[in-house]
Structure 1
Amino acid sequence: MSNNKTLDIIYTSDTHGHVYPIDYAGNRPCNASLLNIASEIKKDGNTLILDGGDSLQGTPLTQYYLSNADKYDYHPIAEAFNAMGLDFFTLGNHDFNFGYEVIRDYLNAMKAKCLCANVEDLGGELKLSKTAIVTLENGLRIGLSGVVTDWVNVWEQADNIAKTKVTDPVIAAKKALDEIKDKCDITVLIYHGGLEENPATGQKMSDTTENVGCKIAHEQDWDILLTGHQHIANEKFVIDNTFAVQPPAKAEKYISMHAETSDDGLLVTSKLVSTGDVHEETAYNKMLQLEEDVQRWLDIPIGSLKDPIDPEEKLYAALHGSRLAAIFNQTQLEWSGADFSCTSLGNDPLGLKKEVTIRDICAVYPFSNTVFVVEVTKKTIKESLERVASYFTLVDGNPQVSKEFLEPKIEHYNYDYYAGLDYEFDLTRPVGERVVKMLRLDGTELSDTDTYTLVTSNYRATGTGGYKAIGNSRVIRNSTEEMPDLLQEFIQKNSPLGDIVNSRIRIVY
């Protein structure tokens, strides 16, 4: 290893379509954006700009662009990354949400090289590499690879991944490391996935293989591991001599890392940098027409409510029911004709104004979920409701949100609201034994032998969030339209929309 040579890394991940410094839901400026990060980067011959994926989904801008791409002679995500001077990146699970051609067009527009060692291109049109070795201006040789969580195979619709094959990231990372480690001075793995252990204590946080960053660090000897996916800000941690980091989501902050080689080995330091309030001008101005088109589209009225819905505080809504969730569930029920529906809300308290626009729908349902109908039994519903009931804990006899839904990251979105059911939880009972009533809305008991239909999101239909019983259920059919589009149609059709009562929930404590 060469003496006293340095490498600087700027690393982003899970930027989720945040190109412009705009909070679209509130229609106000914000700093979180790729263009603002681009204005802050001072790149030289010993600096690498890297990204960990999940870039194509997450804002109204990306939603609008992907439906109207033919109108523009640029790709907004690629333009922003190109303005940053991005060198290498990997794909995230959400980048597969829109199918093969969208990934192909994105990769073609990027100046940076995509490293994804565990993605096999069955269509033959993707600009993908497994590894790269770059020599810095100072002569330091950097070996890089990238991998994505193979839970893409769990979450994604079959049509979207028909021309790609996502394999085990641990095996692919090991093979990539073996290929490059003797040819370089520093090895870097970009992993769109997170940590299954608490890096401070080593305590196992998950038994699934969704996140295997610690396994990679334990079993392989990468110098630097750049993680993502979990949206947990962690500016530095060391796992078995592998230096690892993770930035938060939405381009709010990025990692600035400095590595220096010496006779004593590799010294690495890093910090989280909050995105500033100045944007890069050239790309910003180039894409202003798209941004203006998005703003006009967002303000298109689609319908109205009889009464507005104030932002719903998370614990209160979980205890007493949610008017917003009732609308989501009724939308799913009317599309599917299913016996029951379940839905969840995002992490932030949200509501709807009396006059509803596309902007409002994008704010309350910011995900590109589709809708699945699965075949369930009474046992399936009971097990799933027990998972819902585990959201609560009692503190001095009063219900609070369980730490399981708050740590290591906040997961209010894993609390499900059901429709078509009259159900009751007794929080004084142990977790797993809290569902004490479960009837159809007409008061009839569920049969131990019959099967029923449950409509839910594609996310929940995979069993994600602790809902294995739903994930093990047979899929009957699914929508091709995304849930925000179904919501728009439902509100438009039923305006002015009054309160919807499609469930009864009682919580005893």
Structure 2
Amino acid sequence: MFARFLMTAGALAITAGTAAADYSLTILHTNDFHARFEPISKYDSGCSAEDNTEGKCFGGSARLMTAINDAKARSNNWVLLDGGDQFQGTMFFTYYKGMLAAEMMNQMGYTAMTVGNHEFNHGPEVLRGFIDAVEFPVLMSNADYTGEPALKDALIKSTVIEQGGDKIGIVGLTPKSTEELSSPGPNVIFSDPAPAAQAEVDKLTAAGIDKIILLSHSGYQTDRYLADVVTGIDVIVGGHTNTYLNSNDEKADGPYPTMQNGVPIVQAYAYGKYLGELNITFDDAGNVTEAVGGPIVMDASVTENEAVKARIAEAAKPLEEIRNKVVAEAAASIEGNRDFCRAVECQMGSLIADAMLARVKDQGIDIALQNGGGIRASIDAGPVTMGEVLTVLPFQNTLSTFEVTGAVVKAALENGVSQIEEGAGRFPQVAGMTFSFDASKPAGERITSVMVGGMALDMDKTYGLVSNNYVRGGGDGYKMFRDAQNVYDYGPDLADVVAEYMASAGPVTPYTDGRITQE
């Protein structure tokens, strides 16, 4: 069944003969599941029951359950870890919040999870409900949450488990930028990951723990940095950047595991499309002597667990009427992949920005700006359901209109392209304007030209903007919008705006038109 599971050491240069004192552990891992309880298409969006029957779909909780059970059966000593962002992404989360995720993760037998930024999307209270419902520890070391009543007695920084006759320490990390990326509220103060991780590793080491896993929702490049600067880490299991690692796939973002300063780093893309399986051997001193494994693709060759499939179908019933309503037609697939929408003008970004601007064209609004990170999927050609639109725009953001000067517009665009190398979600998709940038210049100095309504941006002029309430409130680094004038944050839901715009346009032909250019 798992012929595509690649047992390769990749970049690992350390090997040793097996001794009686060696300790072997299978680390099974997922990350950035984003409520994809049902199978997904190759575009990471919804996949019909017919396509699933024909073997065209991937993932889903039912396949993941089968793969996890089979992987456990192949190992006599395993842990199952999640790198964060179980929350947000489909109507299942909109309806159930974290409760369905908790139910599924309990059934699958997770050992531990770190908090992702999206776990805060509906505030600390919803996260607390999830923590209370799960049967495993939820970790976050790089934040002070003692002032947040909902979390101060619920979260822990690290945990120690007894597994296969030995003790393993697990430390959790959350993005330092979670305040910008989500809605943790004023009482959770995030800090740099490296010192926080080092402090927990030192505590575990002082307690005699010599096998330590860093469960990090920090992103692939940050994890490589942590491997260089934090001492005492044996393995990093990551998330946040949806990184696909595979030593035998030229299209992968890197080898599996990626060896950095002697530390194996793994991540399993996103949306339940892969189950990561890393087999680690430690010597008697707790040093890693072997690390081999690879991602297991959750394609049609993985049989769906019937009990889980039935449970997800039951959970989907309340969503069906809303989700299955056909609201528009797409003449061709509309590209909404993060690789595009966080780096260049993308088809879905232009469509969404145009829809936003069209909705408020009679209110004196000049410019629309949508953060690329708020675009979560593509749409297939053919009939478009409300469920598909909600998968693209799952955050229940509302339209925000406001006024700022041209200088603030320029600052916003500089913010938008400031982290393009990292694939950050702040990249701006726009309408009513064009802009050019030079990514080779320092962040803050990259915007080279801006035109609004066919005229050069006037730094002193006041412009009307439309965005979503998350961006207007300072999300994704757009803090310059917090002091905007004539603010109204309570417009219609962005997903409804886009659905109605698509419906009015007839069959939607995807397009880009050069509104964003890179020099």
2:84 equivalent among 45, 53, 63: 53
Which residue is 1:438 aligned to? 451
Q: What code does the residue aligned with 1:60 have? A: M
**Aligned AA (1:440):** G
Which among 320, 323, 339 is matched to residue 298 of structure 1?
A: 323
Residue of structure 2 equivalent to 1:250: 271
Distance 1:131 1:312, change over 3 A: closer
Please tell me whether the aligned partners of residues 89 and 391 of structure 2 are also in contact (alpha carbons under 8 angstroms): no
2:201 aligned residue: 177
Q: 1:113 to 1:179 in 2, by over 3 A?
A: same
Is the aligned partner of 1:31 residue 2:53?
no
Please state if 1:232 is matched with 2:238: no
Offset at 1:21?
2.4
After superposition, the C-alpha distances for 1:146-176 in whole angstroms (9 at most, x for unaligned) are: 010111112224xx42453333322221221
C-alpha distance in structure 2 between counterparts of 1:504 and 1:408, whole Å? 23
* Contact 1:385/1:435 (<8 A) preserved: no
**Which range is displaced more, 40-49 or 371-380?**
371-380
Task: Say if 1:162 and 1:289 are closer, same or farther in 2 by CA, change over 3 A.
Answer: farther
Match of 1:311 in 2: 333
Alpha-carbon distance between aligned partners in 2 of 1:171 and 1:430, rounded to the nearest angstrom: 30
- In the TM superposition, residue 247 of structure 1 has moved relative to its aligned partner by 1.3
- Residue of structure 1 in register with 2:356 after alignment: 329
- Residue in structure 2 matched with residue 400 of structure 1 by the alignment: none
Partners of 1:227 and 1:447 in 2: how far apart?
A: 44
TM-fit CA distance, 1:246: 1.4
Q: Secondary structure at the match of 1:17?
A: coil
Distance in structure 1 (CA, Å) of the matches to 2:156 and 2:312 = 29
Q: Could you tell me how far 1:284 is from its partner in structure 2? A: 3.2
SS in 2 for 1:248: coil
Corresponding residue for residue 296 of structure 2: 273
User: Hey, what does 1:208 align to over in structure 2?
Assistant: none
Separation in structure 2 between the aligned mates of residue 461 and residue 13 of structure 1, nearest angstrom: 28
User: Could you tell which deviates more after superposition, 344-353 or 77-86?
Assistant: 344-353
* Structure 2 letter corresponding to 1:289: E
Residue in structure 1 matched with residue 33 of structure 2 by the alignment = 15
**Separation of aligned partners in 2, 1:286 and 1:325:** 34
Distance 2:91 2:347 in 1: 31
Distance change in 2, residues 1:90/1:458 (3 Å):
farther
Output the CA distance in 2 between the equivalents of 1:287 and 1:348: 21
Distance 2:460 2:364 in 1: 21
* Alignment TM-score, normalising by the size of structure 1: 0.74
Aligned residues: 456
Q: Any conservation in 1 of the 2:408–2:480 contact (CA below 8 Å)? A: no
1:194 paired with 2:215, answer no
> Residue 149 of structure 2 aligns with which residue?
124
Q: Which amino acid aligns with 1:144?
A: I
**Secondary structure class of the residue paired with 1:144:** strand
TM-score by length of 2: 0.73
**Within 2, Cα distance between the matches of 1:123 and 1:387?**
30
In structure 1, give the amino acid aligned to 2:489: S
Distance, in Å, in 2 between the alignment partners of 1:320 and 1:281 is 37
Shift, 1:461, TM fit: 5.3
In 2, the alpha carbon distance for the partners of 1:337 and 1:2 equals: 75
Alignment pair present for 1:140 and 2:166: yes
Alignment of 1:416-435 (within 5 A): 416-421=428-433, 423=434
The answer to whether the Cα contact below 8 Å between 1:83 and 1:283 also exists between their aligned partners in 2 is no
Q: Is the 8 A contact 1:187 1:223 kept in 2?
A: yes
- Determine the C-alpha separation between the residues in 1 that align with 2:457 and 2:429: 18
Shift of 1:91: 1.0
Counterparts of 1:99 and 1:335 in 2: how far apart (Å)?
Answer: 34
In structure 1, distance between residues paired with 2:225 and 2:516: 41
2:113–2:215: 8 Å Cα contact kept in structure 1?
A: yes
Q: Which residue of the partner structure matches residue 450 of structure 1?
A: 461
Contact 1:34 1:81 in 2 (8 A): no
- Cα deviation 1:302-332 (Å, max 9, x = unaligned): 5x58xx55435689x9499987235432266
Distance 2:363 2:224 in 1: 39
For the residue of structure 2 that corresponds to 1:100, the secondary structure is helix
Shift of 1:293: 2.7
**Could you list the runs of 5+ residues in structure 2 that have no partner in the other structure?**
1-18, 246-255
- Pairwise CA distance, 1:371: 4.6
Contact 2:354/2:431, CA 8 A, preserved across alignment: no
Matches of 2:335 and 2:281, distance apart in 1: 48
Amino-acid identity (%)? 21
Give the C-alpha shift of residue 339 in structure 1. 3.6
Mapped partners of 1:327, 1:449: distance in 2: 25
Measured on the aligned residues, the alpha-carbon RMSD in Å equals 4.3
In structure 1, distance between residues paired with 2:150 and 2:446:
52
By percentage of residues, which structure has more strand? Answer: 1
CA distance in 1, matches of 2:64, 2:262: 30
1:284 aligned to 2:316? no
- Within-5 A mapping of 1:63-78: 63-66=94-97, 75-78=99-102
CA distance in 2, matches of 1:333, 1:508: 28
Q: Quick check: 1:262 aligned with 2:256?
A: no
- 2:489 matches 1:479: yes
- Whole-angstrom CA distance in 2 between matches of 1:319 and 1:82: 38
Q: Which amino acid aligns with 2:60?
A: S
Q: What is the rounded CA distance, in whole Å, between the counterparts of 2:398 and 2:142 in structure 1?
A: 26
Tell whether the 8 Å contact from 1:170 to 1:212 is kept in structure 2 after alignment.
no
**How far 1:125 sits from its partner (Å)?**
3.6
Give the one of 86, 93, 106 matched to 2:130.
Answer: 106
- 3-state DSSP of counterpart to 1:188: strand
